[in-house]
Amino acid sequence: MFIGEFEHQMDTKGRMIIPAKFREDLGSGFVVTRGMDQCLFVYPQEEWQKMESKLRELPFTKKDARAFTRFFFSGATECDLDKQNRINIPASLRNYAGLEKECVVIGVSSRVEIWDKAAWDSYMDESADAFAELAEGLFDT
């Protein structure tokens, strides 16, 4: 399970260190793709296969299903850590998430998310006030 929040810097070639706490669970190969809210989703192979199976079940006759699967899979790339425990994020994914230098890497249960630091800070500022309301709406019976 992935939990926690870590700040890292990306170099000019798009390489960034993956937090030590996440490396073992990500394994030797993992998938990075476009996520929601203009961040990147990082899946270990096992979780990626589960997600792929779920998306494969969506009806291709539905326009929204086709659009979502195209968006999700077309941005996906398989990654490995280099000897310095960095990943090289492709330019198209860096552009999508607005990643430049300061990044935040967060654990979200079965996946890791990579955010531009300013975007993450803004998201947290906007979401903090609504947190109690969200919890109430999700967990009330």
pLDDT tens across the length of the chain (141 residues): 999 999 999 999 999 999 999 999 998 899 999 999 999 999 999 999 999 999 999 998 999 999 999 999 999 999 999 999 999 999 999 999 999 999 999 999 999 999 999 999 999 998 887 887 877 778 765
Dihedral of the CA atoms 71, 91, 6, 38 (nearest 10)? -30
Annotated domain spans of the chain: 2-139
Residue type at 27? G
Taking alpha carbons only, the member of 82, 90, 67 closest to residue 29 is 82
Q: Please identify, in words, the CATH class of the domain defined by 2-139.
A: alpha beta
User: How many residues can be counted in the chain?
Assistant: 141
